[in-house]
A = this chain, B = another copy of it.
Amino acid sequence: MSERKLILVTNDDGYLSEGIAALTAVMRRLGSVIVVAPEASRSGAACSLTSASTVRLREVSEEEGLRVVACTGTPVDCVKLALERVCPRMPDLVVSGINHGDNASISAFYSGTLGACLEACIQGARAVAFSLQDFSRHCDFSPFLAAVERVASLVLRQGLPKDVCLNVNFPVVPQLKGIRVARMARGQWQAEWEEAHHPRGERHYWLSGSFTDLEPEAEDTDYWALRHGYASVTPIQLDNTAYSAFEALSSL
């Protein structure tokens, strides 16, 4: 008799976001779910963690097959606490999202959604981050739930290569054309800062800006997939060593 799968769900938009509700609903079809997610939005948290203050866990609810715990920490804190203090055993799968806003190309560096997923991967779990290219608070996630289930089922069934996790992004389309395995596009955020008027004349800025895909013609990137109506699935590795640069550094 096979044991019921255990799935940990987290995100960076907070445990009350619509994206995590959509993701949780899909995961419940695949196993028992534990949600450990931030109390409030932690957008742009990347892999940051909390070391200068305590982090609090708060039981929100529990029903058959679903336990929800809110956490004052970052997405990485959530995963660290979930694995060490909440989950009865290593989950069969850790999923993060569905993020309100995409995390393709270099946005992956700033993403708390992917940060949670990297942390799970570091700890040896199979992990997938899901994001939708729509930053609004109310998004229609329904066109993507079949793809979410497909990717999660595949990972549950066949696992992932060692020290690799998945970064999945969805474009805003009524119907996906399909799923493409794609590399991170080279990209850049530009004109990022907007001056904020401060009553006493201090220099304050809002982070803003627009993203530019630096290789729009390349057909093997995540942004190409998104622009053409496909979900992108980018496998991300933990070892970021640039082996090709060793020779250039040999004179050190």
Contact = CB atoms under 8 A, between A and B. Distances in A.
A109 B47 contact: yes
A118 B122 contact: no
Given A163-B186, A240-B237, A241-B183, A44 B54 contact: no
B84 A238 contact: no
A233 B205 contact: no
Contacts of A236: 240-242
Interface string A116-144: 00110011000000000000000000000
Query: Oligomeric state, in number of copies?
Result: 2
A94 to B, nearest CB: 15
B57 A203 contact: yes
A22 interface: no
Interface stretch (A2-10, A24-32, A60-68, A153-161): A153-161
Contacts of A115: 46
Interface residues of A, number: 78
17 contacts: A45-B48, A46-B46, A48-B74, A51-B207, A57-B205, A80-B193, A154-B251, A158-B251, A160-B248, A179-B252, A183-B241, A186-B239, A235-B242, A235-B243, A236-B240, A236-B242, A237-B240
By Cβ-Cβ distance, the 9 closest A-B pairs, closest first, are: A235-B245, A237-B242, A54-B204, A235-B242, A46-B47, A183-B241, A48-B48, A46-B46, A46-B48
Interface of A: 41, 43-52, 54-58, 74, 76-77, 80-81, 84-85, 106, 108-110, 112, 115, 118-119, 122-123, 150-151, 154, 158, 160-161, 163-164, 166, 179, 181, 183-184, 186, 188, 191-193, 196, 198, 202-207, 233-246, 248-252
